[in-house]
Chains A and B, each alone.
Chain A
Amino acid sequence: QVQLEQAGAEMKRPGASVRLSCRSSGYIFTAYKIHWVRQAPGRGFEWMGGINPNSGSTGIAPRFKDRVTMTRDTSTSTVYLELRRLTVDDTAIYYCARGGEELLGHWGQGTPVTVS
């Protein structure tokens, strides 16, 4: 079955960077985009961007364009999200989710990131 496995919680200081991972299994990795969505306390869900694992091309939300890099490793079916210049407002649960016609039809378990 389709699974997206994310790494454990992260704690960072303001100004630091964080790199999050999302490993896919149960389907052809290069056939579906992977999206990153975050859920901040009291602020709902926010789409950050997505990556095409086949080409490596990315689409990043304008408000994150200067702070976010998305990459992939096809040998391990893993995508990565790097978020730089962290502030306390970046404290959130970060989810990866699979694209396709059934957009965000499969989600990882989420990685809590605390900036303090």
Chain B
Amino acid sequence: DIVMTQTPLSLSVTPGQPASISCKSSQSLLYTDGKTYLYWYLQKSGQSPQLLLYEISKRPSGVPDRFSGSGSGTDFTLHISRVEAEDVGFYFCMHSVQVPPTFGQGTKLEIK
């Protein structure tokens, strides 16, 4: 199975400041169709996860544009341009380039 490693495991950010979370995979997530199957999710306290980004950097409808993604191959980063209080929660990455899809261990974001 592909191992997904996130860093940091926790971070505390002042509102209005930027934040970034790294996700590294043990194998390339570039598929033969040319797409890279890397996703980012946010789980707020007591809620089900929500999709933030798919295929590295594509935002589903309704996701604020302060969330963006970058990277390629095995190294990826989630960027939050200006953290807001509502961004508190656990962020995790996931791949689907092969079976089984696997998840990063999660990064807890807190507000200072």
Contact = CB atoms under 8 A, between A and B. Distances in A.
Nearest to A6: B48
Place the interface of chain B in its size category: 20 to 34
Contact of A61 (B48, B54, B94, B100): B100
Contacts of A95: 48-49
A105 B92 contact: no
Given A45-B92, A59-B99, A62-B100, A103 B54 contact: yes
Contacts of B105: 44
A47 B54 contact: no
B96 interface: yes
Interface residues of A, number: 18
Interface in B61-101: 92, 94, 96, 99-101
22 contacts: A44-B92, A44-B103, A44-B104, A45-B49, A45-B92, A45-B94, A47-B101, A59-B99, A61-B99, A62-B100, A95-B48, A95-B49, A102-B51, A102-B54, A102-B60, A103-B37, A103-B51, A103-B101, A104-B39, A105-B51, A107-B50, A110-B48
A95 B100 CA distance: 16
A92 to B, nearest CB: 13
Nearest to A105: B51
Interface string A68-111: 00000000000000000000000000010100011111011110
Contacts of B100: 47, 61-62
A109 B54 contact: no
Q: Report the 6 A-B pairs with minimum CB-CB distance, sorted nearest first.
A: A107-B48, A61-B100, A45-B103, A105-B51, A47-B101, A47-B100
A108 B49 CA distance: 9
